[in-house]
């Protein structure tokens, strides 16, 4: 099984995870820029984070043979802090980079006016830089948040086929399917979506425009739930081709719209050093 995880926050994960992911068949991934648990208070914290997403983290992933791409944005939660909003001004510095394959995560957290304007401004950047957009849907008030996100997407003029609406579930999938946007599902140990529920949704709605991710981060999450979902699909009678479509070809097609995706290329920065630990100079 070859796996492309279209949404995983590797910055928060260990080298053990990279090893387990590589062994499980994960060959490529996309790491969206998001918040880090601890709110940031200035633009410099963001630029250092973005630098890591286009610098150190791809290098780290390459040690394990995994191709790393990222998305860049001011996330909805921190868009509410006036000290962070200037991040919008530095985004053009990052959106033209080879490893940046979408604008994201954008969208809503609490559906404030500040979130509205940051969301719209960043969809405009996606159009300007010819990038797809990754839209996070809120944890609370999810149905209205999803509906409102689809309205903003429609008003922005971006093609729906270049947008993924993420963290969907049984009650929000229908709205997004009808919109023409891609449908993202984050498989979590016990919250957002589980492998068995995902299989039921695939049986009902089919595999077209579906992205399955682990969204693993600093919270309780599991980078191998993509693999578990593939296994659950096979157990439920889906064929290898369906699994490959959902776990590999769909994310390649979606992010490939950036024309910057190289999922099959050898990761750059593969270490030429002896030994098997990540380089950590001085130890």
Partner 1 sequence: MTWLTEAIETVEREPAKIGRLFPAAGRHTGSAHADEARVEMLKALPLRGDALTVEVRALYRYGDAAEKRAVLLALPHLDVGASCVDLLRDALRTNDTRLVAAALGPYATHLDAEAWRQGVLKCVFMGVPLENVHDLDRRADAELGVMLGDLHAERTAAGRTLADDAVALLGRLR
Residue 93 touching partner 1 (CB under 8 A): yes
Residue 237 touching partner 1 (CB under 8 A): no
Region 12-51 residues binding partner 1, contact defined as CB under 8 A: 47, 51
Q: Which stretch binds partner 1 (CB under 8 A): 176-184, 199-207, 245-253, 257-265?
A: 257-265
| Residue 233 beta carbon to partner 1: minimum distance, rounded to whole angstroms | 33
Could you tell me what percentage of the chain is helix, strand and coil, using 3-state DSSP and rounding each to the nearest 5?
Answer: 45, 15, 40
Distance, in Å, from the CA atom of 278 to the CA atom of 250, rounded to the nearest integer, reads 31
Residue from 195, 146, 153, 203 nearest 175 by CA: 146
Distance, in Å, from the CA atom of 219 to the CA atom of 225, rounded to the nearest integer, reads 14
Task: Tell me the two tokens of residue 187.
Answer: 């498989």
Interface with partner 1 (CB under 8 A), residue from 82, 113, 157, 265: 265
The contact mask relative to partner 1 for 148-167 (x = CB under 8 A, - = no) is --------------------
Residue from 114, 178, 104 nearest 146 by CA: 178
Q: Which stretch binds partner 1 (CB under 8 A): 56-64, 115-123, 190-198, 214-222?
A: 56-64
Q: Are strands 133-136 and 67-72 parallel, antiparallel or unpaired?
A: unpaired
Residue 54 touching partner 1 (CB under 8 A): yes
| Residue 70 beta carbon to partner 1: minimum distance, rounded to whole angstroms | 10
> What are residue 29's DSSP bridge partners?
5, 68
For 234, residues 6+ apart whose C-beta sits below 8 A from its C-beta are 240, 243
| Residue 227 beta carbon to partner 1: minimum distance, rounded to whole angstroms | 29
Distance, in Å, from the CA atom of 94 to the CA atom of 101, rounded to the nearest integer, reads 11
Region 99-138 residues binding partner 1, contact defined as CB under 8 A: 99
Q: Which stretch binds partner 1 (CB under 8 A): 109-117, 196-204, 220-228, 261-269?
A: 261-269
CB 223 within 8 A of CB 5: yes
Q: What is the DSSP letter of 215?
A: -
| Residue 211 beta carbon to partner 1: minimum distance, rounded to whole angstroms | 22
Residue 280 touching partner 1 (CB under 8 A): yes
| Residue 209 beta carbon to partner 1: minimum distance, rounded to whole angstroms | 25
Q: Which stretch binds partner 1 (CB under 8 A): 89-97, 116-124, 190-198, 208-216?
A: 89-97
Length of the chain, in residues: 283
Interface with partner 1 (CB under 8 A), residue from 140, 151, 271, 277: 271
| Residue 261 beta carbon to partner 1: minimum distance, rounded to whole angstroms | 9
Residue 105: asked if its preceding bond is cis (omega within 30°), the reply is yes
Sheet containing 3-5, strands listed edge to edge, beginning at the edge strand earlier in sequence: 3-5, 26-32, 67-72, 100-107, 133-136, 163-165, 182-186, 210-213
Distance, in Å, from the CA atom of 87 to the CA atom of 15, rounded to the nearest integer, reads 30
Residue from 215, 187, 186 nearest 7 by CA: 215
| Residue 263 beta carbon to partner 1: minimum distance, rounded to whole angstroms | 14
Interface with partner 1 (CB under 8 A), residue from 45, 97, 131, 209: 97
Interface with partner 1 (CB under 8 A), residue from 14, 56, 171, 264: 56
Residues in touch with partner 1 (CB under 8 A): 47, 51, 54-56, 58-59, 90, 92-94, 96-99, 259-260, 262, 265, 268-269, 271-275, 278-282
């Amino acid at each position: 099984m070859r796996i492309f995880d279209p949404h995983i926050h590797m910055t928060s994960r260990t080298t053990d995870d990279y090893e387990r992911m590589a062994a499980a068949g994960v060959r490529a991934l996309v790491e969206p820029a998001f918040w880090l648990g601890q709110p940031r208070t200035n633009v410099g914290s963001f630029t250092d984070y973005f630098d890591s997403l286009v610098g150190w983290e791809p290098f780290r992933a390459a040690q394990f043979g995994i191709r790393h791409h990222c998305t860049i944005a001011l996330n909805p939660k921190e868009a509410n802090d006036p000290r962070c909003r200037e991040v919008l001004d530095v985004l053009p510095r990052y959106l033209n980079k080879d490893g940046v394959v979408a604008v994201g995560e954008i969208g809503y957290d609490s559906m404030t006016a500040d979130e509205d304007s940051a969301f719209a401004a960043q969809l405009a950047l996606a159009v300007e830089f010819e990038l797809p957009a990754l839209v996070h849907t809120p944890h609370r008030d999810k149905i209205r948040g999803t509906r409102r996100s689809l309205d903003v997407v429609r008003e922005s003029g971006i093609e729906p086929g270049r947008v993924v609406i993420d963290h969907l579930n049984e009650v929000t999938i229908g709205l997004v399917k009808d919109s023409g946007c891609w449908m993202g599902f984050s498989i979590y140990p016990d919250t957002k979506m589980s492998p068995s529920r995902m299989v039921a949704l695939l049986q009902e709605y089919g595999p077209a425009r579906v992205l399955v991710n682990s969204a693993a981060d600093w919270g309780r999450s599991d980078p191998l739930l993509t693999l578990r979902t593939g296994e659950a699909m096979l157990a439920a009678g889906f064929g290898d081709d369906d699994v490959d479509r959902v776990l590999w070809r769909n994310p390649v097609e979606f992010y490939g719209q950036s024309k910057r995706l190289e999922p099959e290329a050898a990761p750059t920065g593969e270490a030429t050093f002896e030994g098997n630990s990540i380089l950590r100079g001085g130890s």
